[in-house]
Amino acid sequence: MRYPTTSTKRSATSARTTSSRRRARTPAAATRPRRRPPGWRSSLRPSAPTTSTSETRSGAGAGARAGWLRSALVGHPLGEIVQVAYVVNDVVEAARRWADRFGAGPFFVRHHIPMHDSVHRGRPARFDHSNACGQWGAVMLELIEDHGTGPSVVRDLYAPGEEGLHHVACFVDDLDAAVAGYAALGYEVAGSGTAYGQTPVCYIDTISDLGHLTELYVPTGRLRDFYALVAQAADGWDGADPVRLRE
């Protein structure tokens, strides 16, 4: 095959001129500054300790990783990241798949979880969903199935039938202060409600920068007990009974 030969090579002067023009056409405001909170450098720590695949699957070494994570996030506006959540079409089938392929679990499944005082984008909204929660290394993994088709924090990212990463969840000491801190950075509340025994929950819209939502809640006794239950079930787990129903 013959390729065109006319003006296939530019002189060094022409290349420099074109490059200068491109830079001139690009306004400085087009480069969006990265948001960094005051004191963010002090939150940096050395790399997390590494563990073998067998340690990750069994949950061994999770305590060391969790300890590193807590120290690394001191003073960070995200708080303490304790959970990663995915939207799925069937929580039971997805839980079995995650346990079989990735060693997460065992999973505790609850269907049609009541979310009281549910609000989405400032308006009352019903949020009928089921979930499956299991340990995945140092954090909890939540699988969410939204049974509705109306506006919700799930539909903000995924239409019915779609799956993918939805949010990370963080423990915070003061929910109102944390929400105000996110608002100061330009992030608004996508949804809120109460769950886990009247525990207030907020979903912050961090989609534009992170690609997912950020869930915030104060670790009440009942909520911490559930996190402990899931983590303890994974300690030494042999893979048996990967999906367990809970009340």
CA distances from 75 to 38, 41, 49, 217 (A): 10, 10, 21, 17
State the Cα–Cα distance between residues 177 and 183, nearest whole angstrom.
10
Give the per-residue pLDDT at 92.
98
pTM: 0.71
Give the per-residue pLDDT at 137.
94
Six-digit token string for 126: 């019903």
Q: Are 168 and 86 in contact (CB under 8 A)?
A: no
> pLDDT tens for residues 58-99?
444 444 444 444 444 445 556 789 999 999 999 999 999 999
> pLDDT tens for residues 123-149?
999 999 999 999 999 999 999 999 998
Q: What is the dihedral of CA 224, 225, 226, 228, to 10 degrees?
A: 90
Q: What is the per-residue DSSP string for 142-181?
A: EEEEE---SS-TTTTT--TT--EEEEEEEE-S-HHHHHHH
Residues near 131 by Cβ (< 8 Å), separated by ≥ 6?
91, 109, 110, 113, 142, 143, 144, 145
Give the per-residue pLDDT at 202.
97
Six-digit token string for 165: 């990463």
| Strand extents, DSSP E, the chain | 80-87, 107-113, 116-120, 123-124, 129-136, 139-146, 164-171, 189-195, 199-204, 213-217, 243-245
Q: Which residues of the chain have pLDDT under 50?
A: 1-74
Give the per-residue pLDDT at 198.
83
Question: What domains sit in the chain, N to C, each tagged with a CATH number?
Answer: 79-238 (3.10.180.10)
Give the per-residue pLDDT at 77.
56
Give the per-residue pLDDT at 247.
67
Q: Are 90 and 233 in contact (CB under 8 A)?
A: no
Q: Are 212 and 190 in contact (CB under 8 A)?
A: no
State the Cα–Cα distance between residues 145 and 13, nearest whole angstrom.
59
Give the per-residue pLDDT at 55.
44
Residues near 148 by Cβ (< 8 Å), separated by ≥ 6?
126, 127, 128, 129, 155
DSSP element (H, E) containing 231: helix 221-234
Six-digit token string for 142: 């939540």
Residues near 66 by Cβ (< 8 Å), separated by ≥ 6?
138, 139
